[in-house]
Amino acid sequence: MTTIAGLHSRLVRVPLTRPWGADVTSIGVIATRVVRSDGAEGWGFSWTPQIGAEAVQALLQHDIAATAVGRPAAPGQAWQGMWEHLHEAGGGGLTTIALAGLDLALWDAAARAAGGSLTDLIGRRRCAVRAYGSGVNLHYPLEDLVAQAQRWVAAGFDAVKVKVGKPDVAEDLERLRAVREVIGPDRALMIDANQRWDLDRATRALDALAAVTPAWIEEPLRADDLAGHTELARRLAASSGVPIAVGENLHTGYRFAEYLRAGAAQIVQPNIVRVGGITPFLRIADLAAGHGAALHPHLLPELSGQLALCLPTAPGAAEPLVEDVEDAGFGALGALEGPSPVAIAGGRATEVAHDGLGLRLR
């Protein structure tokens, strides 16, 4: 049996071209390298915007590297045991973000050892996927938001996403009307509240914002408020019918299963790193398909785009969408040693020839 012989990590701070806010000016990427007992190597990463990168690296160095040695190197086989080992420090969050650094590197090593890419290893189901223009733009002045929407249209996106959650919903509506005027009636307009509302405020806000026909409302409430999302879904089904999307701040398959069973979300958006890597992400994809829910990966288009090519789709559910946040991809930020393994053009994400994950950090 091929086993894990070693795991190495280093922290890279990648400045953002356009800050996501006054306190989010960079992203922390912990580059990882795994060595297998057969000599094969693989490269992965953990990731977190601004907060917690040093803690993630400490977990990798002190609590994951030594424990991983001797465990099976085949993708997915070591994941559950490692998660159980880390569980005392938390079932999700920093622990799963750190565990992703090992998991991604193991998938990369396996694909490279097999002489192909990640999609070759998993199994490609489609040659291209739709991508949507996205931005961390709640703090943008209206003219900057409109200019961003114009860039999305020029880039060929047929779907875009805008942040909401201003103190006065009338301002949100004004901003969304301006974006809708730019993108026209046929492009999908998604909105993201980033957990800013409570149940009653979300109900009132979505009654007003229904005027711009949102394709979904993302994270309307605290991510851990299962009961609130369940009730909001009931209210929306009886009014505007806007579907709820959650997932970027759910960290385990158990939480995704709870939301899906409760009917609290119709769309799930797992972040591949935050849930612990490719292994749990694929399990969550199966869960979503089994519940008839759409799955659209959160951020990280260079990795999300590859997995979106391989994902199952529930009968009647939309195919996966890849999120392209303006000026935030590893390739756009100059963080990669080589070209990005995923190209986004004309609103479509396609794969560029590469080995493994194709994601070596500078």
Distance (Å, whole) CA 255 – CA 273: 16
Going from the C-alpha of 34 to that of each of 38, 104, 187, the distances in angstroms are: 12, 9, 43
SS3 7: strand
DSSP string, 76-139: TTTHHHHHHHHGGG-SSSHHHHHHHHHHHHHHHHHHHHTTSBHHHHH----SEEEEEEE---TT
Distance (Å, whole) CA 11 – CA 32: 9
Is residue 36 within 8 Å of residue 73, measured between CB atoms?
A: yes
Active-site residues, by number, are: 163, 298
SS3 236: helix
Residue 267 pairs in a beta bridge with 245, 294
Residue 22 pairs in a beta bridge with none
Distance (Å, whole) CA 317 – CA 328: 28
Is residue 252 within 8 Å of residue 246, measured between CB atoms?
A: no
